[in-house]
């Protein structure tokens, strides 16, 4: 099984690739950015609670496998776009970086420490940040984010950042309010 650190390095390679593709004018769908953000959130969750996970007989091993699968799907799309724009050799170079990263091989040109907030999102979008209650499972928040088509980030202190198109953010805010408080505290 690939370690969470390897998965994080693999994510960093894909993050660098998506940035390079964007700079070269390759169209990257908003959903791809959302998937990248959500995957990063789960990676950070797994990293934050690494000791607890180890002590619980790998209770979150399934979640880690799901993240690995999601990152592989992202890789497939990004590599296809890379080859389409720059050719097979370019794609193979990025695939090697990715494979090395998964194995934990340190790659000096990976920026990897980029804040999730630095991933581009819609310019005319909305944004909010709240403290996520401890009793709210992250998986439910991820489902709401996917349904509402918003981008999310959760740091180690359970501060949730939501961004995206204004109407989508408002819908997410309303649904999270219903989840937290049992009814929406926001006006229609």
What CATH number is associated with residue 158? 3.30.70.250
Task: Establish if 107 belongs to a structural domain.
Answer: no
**Band (41; pLDDT cuts 50, 70, 90):** confident
**Band (119; pLDDT cuts 50, 70, 90):** very low
Task: Establish if 110 belongs to a structural domain.
Answer: no
């349904």: which residue's tokens? 147
Kindly compute the dihedral angle of the four CA atoms of residues 58, 63, 68, 74, in this order, to the nearest 10 degrees. -170
Assess whether pLDDT exceeds 80 at residue 177.
Answer: no
* Mean pLDDT, rounded, of the chain: 77
Core vs surface per residue 74-110: b (16+ CB within 10 A) or e: bbebbbebbbeebeeeebeebbebbebbbeeeeeeeb
Q: What is the mean pLDDT of residues 63-80?
A: 87
Q: How many independent structural domains does the chain possess?
A: 2
Q: Are residues 170 and 93 in the same domain?
A: no
Query: Smallest Cα–Cα separation from 124: which of 38, 22, 30?
Result: 30
124/166: higher pLDDT: 166
Q: Are 110 and 101 in contact (CB under 8 A)?
A: yes
Task: Establish if 137 belongs to a structural domain.
Answer: yes
Tally of CB atoms within 10 A around 182? 8
Q: Are residues 11 and 66 in the same domain?
A: yes
| 154 burial type by CB count under 10 A (0-12 exposed, 13-18 middle, 19+ buried) | buried
| Structural domain of 130 | 121-181
In this structure, the strands spanning 159-165 and 151-154 are antiparallel
Q: What is the mean pLDDT of residues 68-84?
A: 92
Q: Which residues contact 107 (CB under 8 A, 6 or more apart)?
A: 9, 13, 97, 100, 101
Task: Establish if 186 belongs to a structural domain.
Answer: no
Task: Establish if 44 belongs to a structural domain.
Answer: yes
Residues 90, 21: Cα–Cα separation, whole Å: 11
66/128: higher pLDDT: 66
Q: How many residues does the chain have?
A: 188
Q: Are residues 140 and 71 in the same domain?
A: no
Assess whether pLDDT exceeds 70 at residue 90.
Answer: yes
Q: Are residues 90 and 127 in the same domain?
A: no
Q: Are residues 85 and 141 in the same domain?
A: no
């Amino acid at each position: 099984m690939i370690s969470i650190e390897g998965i994080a390095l693999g994510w960093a390679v894909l993050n660098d690739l998506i940035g390079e593709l964007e700079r070269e004018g390759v169209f990257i769908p908003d959903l791809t950015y959302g998937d990248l953000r959500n995957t990063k959130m789960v990676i950070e969750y797994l990293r934050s609670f690494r000791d607890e996970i180890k002590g619980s007989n790998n209770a979150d091993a399934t979640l880690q496998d799901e993240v690995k699968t999601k990152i592989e799907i992202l890789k497939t799309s990004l590599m296809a776009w890379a080859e389409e724009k720059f050719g097979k050799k370019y794609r193979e170079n990025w695939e090697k970086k990715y494979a090395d990263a998964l194995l934990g091989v340190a790659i000096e040109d990976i920026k990897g420490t980029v804040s999730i907030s630095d991933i581009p999102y819609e310019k005319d979008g909305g944004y909010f940040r709240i403290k996520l209650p401890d009793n709210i499972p992250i998986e439910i928040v991820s489902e709401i984010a996917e349904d509402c088509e918003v981008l999310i980030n959760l740091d180690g202190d359970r501060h949730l950042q939501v961004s995206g198109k204004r109407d989508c953010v408002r819908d997410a805010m309303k649904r999270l309010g219903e989840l937290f408080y049992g009814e929406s505290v926001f006006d229609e």
